[in-house]
Structure 1
């Protein structure tokens, strides 16, 4: 039997979908599971969810699709995963999550002090181009900065700071490689060069995550 179908997994904020497409892009089978409780809030404005919750939902959804369409399941040639953006997982050296994920809709702000968190040169350059206030606001929105400031012990233990999609790639393939197109959020990504900002580049100061804590980036569409 020729294998020519693609299993597409869509991990959203409120549901997970597993779908089978043929090479013409026709949807042949689909399972959608909505979450009874998409996230939890320990404080007003907080929105968090455990990474293993999403993994269990992915497994449940794909298993249901396999039961629903067993003959089509045997024709799967490739798997693709898409997820919500700007939601990250802190993992240790065993890739075990260290804390719940701070989701994209979370409203907390990192306690940024520009005079301590940016050098005089950085402050001057951002002010010269009229971006100082915007930069500070973006730094406040970065969940990485919030964790660094409020949970330094967690950040110290963090071996990798993975996007939701990077974490799912690891769970599926034991690799944290991820597409450049999936890195949308408060991270030090150079969109023009499609790579992480280097340690001496100005914009890196907004989200100063060590390169070795981040995913290895690959071009979109890479197998």
Structure 2
């Protein structure tokens, strides 16, 4: 039997999937740790993780996969990597991290990005980078340069979280065009590194890793890594992408007009276009999609809300300690739409792009001690998450995106029937749920990158729609009113 391995480096956990090449079925999947990985916040607005913790949890998750399928190391034909986007990892000449990774939801660099946006010119930034430098990787590196100058001098290479895992696997410091675009390190007009932003920040271009293709050989498993992972040295790493472009890929969202969604720690709606489009306020962001070529351009318009699954997780830890997520979903389902007037605003996980990089904090509004219980709170939270996504989807629609059918994996918040119904009826979209996840998508993509699958179509054998949610006329009208009241309250507090 021959297999493909996919690694998905999240901020909550690391997931591993093993795909059978012959039939495209998921042979095994696992994640580690069992509880969410910690996110350190040494100061308000900061969010950091230890890159070596990702590497350790990858090993643990792979061990769990082996407990399900006793495969041999030489049966793995290729490896793919998906990873949490926008993070910054700084390594020395030995490839060792010099500090914890500044991850995607860290807000410390907002002021640097805003200043660069103004200095370089909004029109220039948007037409060349398709985004404000904002709170992305380049701006995080500027923060390190200004606030940790002695550490900055020791940096040999800077990389994204997935680039660091690729370094651990192959011993080579590399990145991709898609990765550079997510860090605002890519100029779409010149089709080259964003030299103008680097020069403004006073950052040496040589700190960037060398570029490799998104699909194709990016390096081979070293003897050291093979020994640690009990795999065969020389296995190609043949795919790498940020978690949201990869999530779209895993759902076969590759062509203009197709849309994917996910609701893990953060919530994302990601639509594909062949046009260079951007939001003037950078409330949603445009990046290079995984299947982009000069001949057939493909861009991903990404809406991200930081506080989605992390809100549900926070509620469980602090208010539902004895309950499972399934228990919470059952409590939410017992409450009528609108949660009897209780409103949850889930913006408690750093600066929110859709709110123009404001960090307004989460808010529970309308709580009545004699009317509301835990079920109301659980339902208001799930509704608030959907409403925050709808708020951003309206920006995407203003940019010309047609949102009719949205594909998602049957995972995370979409395991909740309440969440799925609220999503379909608030957005007015048909929701298709598939038997896939980011790790499985990365494994399939590795098969394309290694030439095992001849095209994008053949790699999706074994992936099926397992549930379809359609808007219901009565509920759709009801949620239009409930969302309208929520949106009015949000805007009055911005």
TM-score > 0.5, shorter chain as reference = yes
Q: Which has the higher helix share?
A: 2
User: Where in structure 2 are there 5+ consecutive unaligned residues?
Assistant: 218-494
Q: TM-score, normalised by structure 2?
A: 0.38
1:12 matches 2:10: yes
Change (3 A) 1:193 1:67: farther
For residues 71-99 of structure 1, give each alpha carbon's deviation from its aligned partner in whole angstroms, at most 9, with x where no partner exists.
37652111111100111111111111111
* CA drift at 1:183: 3.2
Aligned twin of 2:62: 62
* CA drift at 1:162: 1.2
Given the alignment, which residue of 124, 138, 147 partners 2:133? Answer: 138
Contact kept? 2:159, 2:175, Cα under 8 Å: no
1:181 matches 2:175: no
* CA drift at 1:191: 3.8
The CA distance in 2 between the partners of 1:140 and 1:64, in whole Å, is 35
Contact kept? 1:85, 1:104, Cα under 8 Å: yes
For residues 172-221 of structure 1, give each alpha carbon's deviation from its aligned partner in whole angstroms, at most 9, with x where no partner exists.
11011233223343342124565423x4xx34445553222111111211
Aligned twin of 2:203: 209
1:162 matches 2:156: no
Which range moved further: 10-19 or 204-213?
Answer: 204-213
The CA distance in 1 between the partners of 2:38 and 2:180, in whole Å, is 22
The CA distance in 2 between the partners of 1:167 and 1:12, in whole Å, is 13
Pick the structure with greater CA Rg: 2
Aligned twin of 2:39: 39
Aligned twin of 2:50: 50
User: Where in structure 1 are there 5+ consecutive unaligned residues?
Assistant: none
Contact kept? 2:174, 2:210, Cα under 8 Å: yes
SS at match of 1:13: coil
Aligned twin of 2:97: 97
Contact kept? 1:16, 1:61, Cα under 8 Å: yes
Contact kept? 1:85, 1:183, Cα under 8 Å: no
1:219 matches 2:210: no
Change (3 A) 1:14 1:191: farther
Change (3 A) 1:193 1:220: farther
Number of residue-to-residue matches in the alignment: 211
Q: TM-score, normalised by structure 1?
A: 0.80
SS at match of 1:70: coil
Aligned twin of 1:77: 77
Change (3 A) 1:113 1:129: closer
SS at match of 1:6: strand
* CA drift at 1:22: 2.4
Change (3 A) 1:190 1:45: same
For residues 87-124 of structure 1, give each alpha carbon's deviation from its aligned partner in whole angstroms, at most 9, with x where no partner exists.
11111111111111101001113664999x79xxx94x
1:126 matches 2:124: no
SS at match of 2:71: helix
Contact kept? 1:48, 1:100, Cα under 8 Å: yes
SS at match of 1:71: coil
The CA distance in 2 between the partners of 1:113 and 1:38, in whole Å, is 26
For residues 116-162 of structure 1, give each alpha carbon's deviation from its aligned partner in whole angstroms, at most 9, with x where no partner exists.
x79xxx94x6267596xx99963565211111111111111111111
The CA distance in 2 between the partners of 1:178 and 1:28, in whole Å, is 29
Aligned twin of 2:19: 21
